[in-house]
Chains A and B, each alone.
Chain A
């Protein structure tokens, strides 16, 4: 990723004038090195209240049993597994950004990968809490692990997708954590170098003695590439395996071969939406508009549009196959999503995920920050309902009509879910206070080639195709972080 001149028709990845390496460091580390502002405290108070609610609701569940949730003999999974799949899905964007986009040399990822990866880790933590708390006997949560034991020859059931899930999620979490932390090393060293006293001690331990020598950088790059290589299959495998929890079962509405690609697309879809939700606020509050620019926002919106459309095609395929298969239970299940007692959940799913995201075809909408933010939330609501529809609406009316039942959540169900969101935000807010929310080192890499000021230098040099220059200028108009008047005289 050496510095070189980049074509003028590419939009800048860093905007603003007089951006220097030092300014990047100062900008990014402002929240880390200063006391937090009011906005942070308000956010943190609300989020930690949510986290407390989560602790209370989960403890209540552990004390009294799963019966405190609204599940019944017919609907054995509901908000628990809905929440689990939702959080795992959200996590996927981080891995996609850090691994696949790195391999494809998509430099725009450099501004958003840190937060996205952090989000991945927190989302997987939230998901993992569901894995444990949904168990009837959570104190035996280690039994699905293939541990040597004294019970005789008892082993786990390698046929069970839940065991695959255990492997998938634990691998995913550990690889993501290592990858994220490795990427943090140079930035931790930067903090260390600027800090004094106890903070300096802490960050020097955390930075693993980073020296910044050429050799260190070279190894760092190599490790990152290797980890990206390891992570890449995980982006596809984790949600594939999660989808197999459903796809390998007999349940109409679950027993579907399209699930793996459909779930992966859905996961990236919801993950990018969550990144969008977080970063649109973060960039404003922390003043990082120059690093997370309109280009990033639009690029993510395009991915949301793409994956949302893939999900839409998957929905259509499901309906077609249900019709074409002639299977009466399958057909009923899909009809039931619209005409059954949970028709409203079906409408939320299809409406939010397919209809609303199609708005992204319009550039005006893709580049409108408030609308993007609202849509990103709409997508995550839609994706929650997608899992709810797949899980609850399929289960509640399956083969034998005598057992058809409704699911009504209890206050504990709701509290565990809302609490998990609180937990997530608590962790995220702590993260932006103590660690750089933008990968400084990686952003600095592209400062000389892809920043607005580098492009401006190209313009000042002249010798560029007029049309290309006009195109470039045109593209800048949508940026909220670019002073367009600078370009009128050029």
Chain B
């Protein structure tokens, strides 16, 4: 519809005035001075205030937004096709074997993150050593070889295989010798592969070469009984143990197993039945074992032989030719006492010696034979296969090389260039045509080889082991090989043209044919069962009794000659030992082990010369003074450390340090002491006589504990003698001494009906080995800080083992005060006590009240929590903690270029436990009682709709403890193991009088000594 209505906006429009018409031509009624603005004048014009503010506002806003940091992007790739068995967030456990011990490997999302002992393991029954715990970190070592190496350059496997096979065939044709040098192999399948290799190349000989050798014992058994075996010792069957320098709790043969056995006669259960074994130790340096002994007598290495002769004489009633009393009156008395007690316990006695000298071990056999130990405490019929090294064979090999008779040599887990006592190996290797090392990262020997065919890490490998005769364990891979490595057995099979197509098939065949049947298994189902259980045990043969019947006079003469040789020029005697953390040094690149304090000296990241306090005073030396030590034509400089209990006139040095070709962690840590070894009567000897000269330098050692006496503070350490204990089990705890109980005026008592998590630690079971420290670090992502930071007293360990010395002052009881100790004349007779110390989870925690931001609070289950995200880092809580267990992140250890040596790279960080956050710089941390394990355990019970079972949740420290010194559980359940343990009359709480009500109870240390010796 048309409309002719007209709308107008104003009279001007209606009237169409000329002004309006003119104006209406433009869009805007008034002209906009765009031209003015854009030509020169406009731009130079002053900005009006409003515009300025607008621009400023916009600019600041825009810049602020632009400057906002982007949220870091972490790419995580979901499983598109979910692998069977893997559920993100849920750990899988696989059985495997470490050093012949059955273990469980915890994997998360396909990567192994923790090693745990297998509860049905024959050796440690669920315990695991610090080395086993730390071995998982080696898998993620970035310095591992990523591919084979030929003549120092990267090569492919095909190239290497071609080369090796060609060479081997040429050598075979030339009829020259081929040698496989390995540290002891007890794996039946590996031995099978080697046997097959030998069949193919008959000029091959396999030589077991152990850096720390037990040839002396094996040879002595051959000489004494015609059985060249390393016996299986039963410390649990011994009521009295006399050890001559055998560190059986720390490093000797099978320490985890021996710890379990040893403690079974000394723990709560044993004490409650009024039974406790007695342990007398004669040794030079203070070893872990010596520090646990009831009676410890310091003797020089040269006195060890004469002391054994004296003991033999005392027990047999004869007198061996040439034997005379020791110059050491204390030792003489101790020998007499030991002999009497050993005889009284005939059949339940055990004498062991750490010496690698055949004559000495023959004498020990004679003594044990007199005591009826064979068949009871010593088992020669189910021998240990853990060490089979043959020193003489290796020396012969070195001579063969030097003569140019050897044309091919394979090094499997052996590093003689580092740990052989002289440089003949280096000279000899120059004459060898084909040198192959299976080292997984370049070591001293691999550096001199033409071919390095890097072996898998054991967590990437198939295999098996056989630590004790009749006990077979299986090894299975828990991750695909990380690098282009190949298992050594596979390489040997390939080069010897083995019919089995790969090593897995070989292992399967071997088990199907030879081993499964021993455990009553067979076929595929048997194999699958084995992969679930991890081990098979053959029926144990009855241990036979053996009687020693040889003439000992010649033996005694050899021993005495050795002793005379050591003392000939009246120099300082050196004793070489393995440190509990690093042992023979093969794991030197492992930061967890380097930072694990030595149990006795508490030194990390170094070896040192341990010296007795009186020698230090005589020579005017201070801790850390560097001395030059010369012996056997070799010299090193090392800082000295005062070691109470060290025999006077001796020093002890740990081997396993001073690696020169190794990753960044282990390089230049300490000095190599292996060259102080010597060869005598076909075995390596661990003592020498040396001259010491002070260099005038001082190099402070990184110790985690620098004050060594308890200062008479008996509310921290409580101990008693076994005699006292038998009269009153609560002796020393202060119970029943009539202290008035004061009513609790200030604090509410919280009810904890369901869970009240507590812990009990038996000081009489703890040997102080420190495996728990590494287990805790692995479980809780505890950072490694390095030598300098430890020196600044900043190690991060959530659990530590405190070690205190006390001194016997002429039988007048323990002297524990620094000022009194300074006045003592006799510092040889020292007693040691260990105390694992961790957050006590106090019911009335002093740390909780002082935190300004409530970052540390109490849980309804009796735990002291730490909320890292809330912590601002005032450190007030750490200051107010009477136990000093809180640890502060001084630096950003996970992302600070100055800590590059340790765990500061993406690859190594894959070992982290994803259930535990890593802590940022400036945040306090401490033992959480493995809260992630408690949560996981509770969750599991909930999913399975059942109550939580006692013992189902285990702390990392508890789990790895071969001595079972730590019990964790629910105090609200009166039937739980921990409730029972805490009911023990020996229970006390550290610093109980402060009223903080700790959640960790300790059981008194009991020493089996008569009052006179105390």
Q: Beyond A66-B890, A67-B891, A395-B879, is A404–B706 a contact (Cβ under 8 Å)?
A: yes
B38 at the interface (CB under 8 A from A): no
For residue A327, which residue of chain B has the nearest CB? B993
B541 at the interface (CB under 8 A from A): no
Q: Beyond A137-B872, A328-B713, is A249–B853 a contact (Cβ under 8 Å)?
A: no
**Residues of chain B within 8 A of A66, CB atoms compared:** 873, 888, 890, 922
Question: Interface size of B by Cβ–Cβ distance < 8 Å?
Answer: 59
| Interface contact A400-B716, CB-CB below 8 Å | yes
1/0 contact string of B829-855 vs chain A (CB within 8 Å): 000000101000000001001111110
Q: Beyond A65-B891, A71-B875, is A401–B713 a contact (Cβ under 8 Å)?
A: yes
**Residues of chain B within 8 A of A159, CB atoms compared:** 849-850
Q: Beyond A65-B921, A135-B922, is A249–B880 a contact (Cβ under 8 Å)?
A: yes
**Residues of chain B within 8 A of A477, CB atoms compared:** none
**Residues of chain B within 8 A of A245, CB atoms compared:** 876
B727 at the interface (CB under 8 A from A): no
| Interface contact B706-A76, CB-CB below 8 Å | no
A248 at the interface (CB under 8 A from B): yes
| Interface contact B879-A251, CB-CB below 8 Å | yes
Q: Beyond A76-B875, A135-B922, A249-B880, is A65–B711 a contact (Cβ under 8 Å)?
A: no
Q: Choose among B708, B793, B851, B896 the residue that contacts A74 (Cβ–Cβ < 8 A).
A: B793
A258 at the interface (CB under 8 A from B): no
| Interface contact A400-B922, CB-CB below 8 Å | no
Chain B facing A: main interface SS? loop
Q: Beyond A136-B924, A332-B711, is A144–B852 a contact (Cβ under 8 Å)?
A: yes
Q: Beyond A163-B852, A166-B852, is A398–B924 a contact (Cβ under 8 Å)?
A: no
**Residues of chain B within 8 A of A403, CB atoms compared:** 705, 884
For residue B835, which residue of chain A has the nearest CB? A402
Q: Choose among B707, B854, B994 the residue that contacts A155 (Cβ–Cβ < 8 A).
A: B854
A308 at the interface (CB under 8 A from B): no
**Residues of chain A within 8 A of B846, CB atoms compared:** 249-250
For residue A64, which residue of chain B has the nearest CB? B891
Chain B nearest Cβ from A7, distance in angstroms = 53
| Interface contact A156-B852, CB-CB below 8 Å | yes
**Residues of chain B within 8 A of A157, CB atoms compared:** 849, 851-854
Q: Which of A152-208 contact B (CB under 8 A)?
A: 154-157, 159-163, 166
1/0 contact string of A397-419 vs chain B (CB within 8 Å): 11111111110000000000000
Chain B nearest Cβ from A292, distance in angstroms = 40
| Interface contact A73-B876, CB-CB below 8 Å | no
Q: Choose among B794, B872, B887 the residue that contacts A141 (Cβ–Cβ < 8 A).
A: B872
Q: Choose among B707, B789, B872 the residue that contacts A136 (Cβ–Cβ < 8 A).
A: B872
A346 at the interface (CB under 8 A from B): no
Chain A facing B: main interface SS? loop
**Residues of chain A within 8 A of B997, CB atoms compared:** none
Give complex CA distance A488, B508 in Å.
Answer: 121
Q: Beyond A74-B884, A77-B879, A398-B882, is A135–B874 a contact (Cβ under 8 Å)?
A: yes
**Sorted from nearest, which 5 A-B pairs have the closest CB atoms?**
A136-B873, A136-B922, A67-B890, A76-B875, A402-B802
**Residues of chain A within 8 A of B889, CB atoms compared:** 65, 136
| Interface contact B882-A250, CB-CB below 8 Å | yes
A337 at the interface (CB under 8 A from B): no
Give complex CA distance A332, B873 in Å.
Answer: 29
A2 at the interface (CB under 8 A from B): no
Q: Choose among A156, A249, A400 the residue that contacts B850 (Cβ–Cβ < 8 A).
A: A249
Give complex CA distance A157, B872 in Å.
Answer: 13
Q: Beyond A136-B889, A159-B849, A332-B711, is A402–B872 a contact (Cβ under 8 Å)?
A: no
**Residues of chain B within 8 A of A138, CB atoms compared:** 922
Known pairs A65-B891, A156-B854. 19 more at Cβ < 8 A?
A64-B891, A64-B896, A65-B889, A73-B878, A73-B888, A76-B879, A136-B871, A136-B874, A136-B888, A137-B873, A143-B853, A160-B851, A161-B850, A162-B851, A249-B876, A399-B883, A401-B713, A402-B804, A402-B837
Give complex CA distance A399, B889 in Å.
Answer: 23
Give complex CA distance A67, B707 in Å.
Answer: 23
Q: Which of B679-729 contact A (CB under 8 A)?
A: 705-713, 716
Give complex CA distance A67, B923 in Å.
Answer: 12
| Interface contact B875-A398, CB-CB below 8 Å | no
Task: Provide 27 A-B residue pairs closer than 8 Å at the C-beta atoms, listed in order of the A residue.
Answer: A64-B896, A65-B891, A65-B892, A72-B793, A73-B794, A76-B876, A77-B876, A136-B874, A136-B922, A136-B924, A154-B853, A159-B850, A160-B851, A162-B850, A162-B851, A248-B850, A250-B880, A329-B713, A332-B711, A339-B819, A398-B884, A399-B884, A400-B991, A401-B708, A401-B710, A402-B802, A405-B706
Q: Which of A457-479 contact B (CB under 8 A)?
A: none
Q: Which of A58-115 contact B (CB under 8 A)?
A: 64-67, 70-74, 76-77
**Residues of chain B within 8 A of A137, CB atoms compared:** 871-873, 920-923
For residue B879, which residue of chain A has the nearest CB? A76
Chain B nearest Cβ from A145, distance in angstroms = 10
**Residues of chain A within 8 A of B886, CB atoms compared:** 73
Give complex CA distance A5, B169 in Å.
Answer: 123
Give complex CA distance A405, B880 in Å.
Answer: 15
For residue A403, which residue of chain B has the nearest CB? B884
Interface residues of B (CB under 8 A from A): 705-713, 716, 789, 792-795, 800, 802-804, 819, 835, 837, 846, 849-854, 870-876, 878-880, 882-884, 886-892, 896, 920-924, 990-991, 994, 996
For residue A162, which residue of chain B has the nearest CB? B852
Chain B nearest Cβ from A245, distance in angstroms = 8
Q: Choose among A134, A136, A144, A251 the residue that contacts B923 (Cβ–Cβ < 8 A).
A: A136
Give complex CA distance A346, B876 in Å.
Answer: 23
A140 at the interface (CB under 8 A from B): yes
For residue B881, which residue of chain A has the nearest CB? A250
**Residues of chain A within 8 A of B990, CB atoms compared:** 400
Q: Which of A429-485 contact B (CB under 8 A)?
A: none
Chain A nearest Cβ from B842, distance in angstroms = 10
**Residues of chain A within 8 A of B849, CB atoms compared:** 157, 159-160, 248
Give complex CA distance A64, B710 in Å.
Answer: 36
**Residues of chain B within 8 A of A249, CB atoms compared:** 846, 850, 876, 879-880
| Interface contact A154-B854, CB-CB below 8 Å | yes
**Residues of chain A within 8 A of B712, CB atoms compared:** 328
Chain B nearest Cβ from A66, distance in angstroms = 6
Give complex CA distance A333, B179 in Å.
Answer: 66
**Residues of chain B within 8 A of A77, CB atoms compared:** 875-876, 879
For residue B797, which residue of chain A has the nearest CB? A73
**Residues of chain B within 8 A of A166, CB atoms compared:** 852
Q: Choose among A64, A154, A160, A399 the residue that contacts B876 (Cβ–Cβ < 8 A).
A: A160
**Residues of chain A within 8 A of B892, CB atoms compared:** 65
Q: Choose among B789, B874, B891 the residue that contacts A162 (Cβ–Cβ < 8 A).
A: B874
| Interface contact A73-B853, CB-CB below 8 Å | no
For residue A131, which residue of chain B has the nearest CB? B874
Chain A nearest Cβ from B854, distance in angstroms = 5
Give complex CA distance A66, B922 in Å.
Answer: 7
| Interface contact B875-A162, CB-CB below 8 Å | no
Chain B nearest Cβ from A406, distance in angstroms = 8
Q: Choose among B713, B853, B883 the residue that contacts A144 (Cβ–Cβ < 8 A).
A: B853
Q: Which of A229-263 contact B (CB under 8 A)?
A: 245, 248-251
| Interface contact A73-B884, CB-CB below 8 Å | yes
For residue A161, which residue of chain B has the nearest CB? B850
Chain A nearest Cβ from B712, distance in angstroms = 8
| Interface contact A404-B922, CB-CB below 8 Å | no
Give complex CA distance A187, B669 in Å.
Answer: 69
| Interface contact A136-B879, CB-CB below 8 Å | no
Give complex CA distance A402, B795 in Å.
Answer: 13
Give complex CA distance A70, B835 in Å.
Answer: 28
Give complex CA distance A78, B923 in Å.
Answer: 18
1/0 contact string of A110-145 vs chain B (CB within 8 Å): 000000000000000000000000111110110110
Q: Beyond A250-B846, A395-B879, A402-B804, is A134–B854 a contact (Cβ under 8 Å)?
A: no
**Residues of chain A within 8 A of B851, CB atoms compared:** 157, 160, 162
Give complex CA distance A405, B794 in Å.
Answer: 10
For residue A163, which residue of chain B has the nearest CB? B852
Q: Beyond A155-B854, A248-B850, A401-B713, is A135–B991 a contact (Cβ under 8 Å)?
A: no
